[in-house]
Amino acid sequence: MAARRSMNPKRIGFLGFEGVAASELTRAADVLAAATLDGGYGNRISCYQISTIGFTSECFRAESGIAFWPDSTLETASELDTIVIPGGDGLRRSLASETIAEWLMARVNETRRVVAIGGGIYGVAPSGLLDGREVTTHWRYASDVARCFPNLRVDPRRHLVKDGAFYTSSGPGAAIDLSLALIEEDYGRHVSSGVAQDFVSAPTNGNGQHKLPRPLVFDSQPADRFAELIPWIMRNLHEDLSINTLARRACMSPSHFNRAFKSVFGSAPGEFVETLRINEAKRRLSVPKRTLETIAASVGFADAQTFRRAFERRLGAKPRSYLKNFNGSSIAAASANGEAVLSQTGRMSGAQKGLAIPTQH
């Protein structure tokens, strides 16, 4: 696992512009750059590859006057895992915010997550990508953001907020906490806690002893992250639904996604997906002139033999035998919305009850 991560550190691009808040850019970048994995023999493996992206290849100056030279421009930047937009007075100029918003619109489908620090929300909101979403920002800008972008659900009392692939934080002071939360989401608490020791002032107990700082997490619940995922799975049963694919869709690391999924649904993602596939296959078996091969492929099984084994393991019968026996004790009727409804006239086995998940189209 460490070798794989060493080959592919996650690429994070920080947008830079005239009048950027230097502290928001550098604080978050420094924390992310400090995240490493143990490569053995005393070697450390970088978790992230950090770059700055300018409007042009010329240097840009922060509010404080500090000059930055970008690694690339909006036109030349390579594909990124995460895009971070710091705040700054320069972003509240319409031209800068509109330029960033247009660039984000062109990039969003190939980017796992978009992060706004404090006033950085001015660069994301004009794109419409945050419409209807919960966000936070610095309290000083909250009323103006709410007025300029009435479709956003702004709550400046929240420190860090994640809604789908979009992350917002309350201001410069939250830049470090935001980065630590991103690290924890990607690589777990062990890595984020190690970084936190270098960047977070450790509180002390009554005896004057330091306590290990605990990184903050985003103000969201696992169930919120899966609200759009399950309907998407049901519509794409024929596609690759591996943990890596689903985790990317939910904007989570595979390990974090696996734990969160189990806590919400009570089963592993692979088992859950197989249940959905078998359930849909049951419905398709009743369609005349459909072969096991076409049914297996249509719900995402590699081949008919894999489908047969999974079907028999879950229902205790081969697909065709199951259909024959089931038709002897049930009547299939089409509902008004086109879904198959089975009117039970005989006993249903425990395995069949366990697969009682409604199919969607």
pLDDT tens per residue, range 228-283:
787 788 888 989 999 888 888 876 677 778 877 887 777 889 988 988 888 888 87
Mean pLDDT of 22-38: 92
Report pLDDT for 324: 61
Percent helix, percent strand, percent coil in the chain, to nearest 5: 45, 15, 35
User: Could you tell me the domains of the chain?
Assistant: 2-199 (3.40.50.880), 223-354 (1.10.10.60)
Q: Is the pLDDT of residue 357 over 60?
A: no
Q: Give the type of residue at 70.
A: P
pLDDT, mean over the chain: 80
**What's the rounded Cα separation, in Å, for the pair 152 and 147?**
9
- In terms of pTM, does the model score above 0.85? no
Half-sphere exposure of 339 (CA within 13 A, CB side): 11
* pLDDT tens string 119-150: 999 999 999 999 999 999 999 999 999 999 99
Cα separation, 19 vs 61, whole angstroms: 6
Residue 151, judged by CB atoms within 10 A of its CB (0-12, 13-18, 19+), counts as exposed
Mean pLDDT to the nearest integer, 214-233: 62
Q: pLDDT digits over 98-116, tens only?
A: 999 999 999 998 999 999 9
pLDDT over threshold 60, residue 358: no
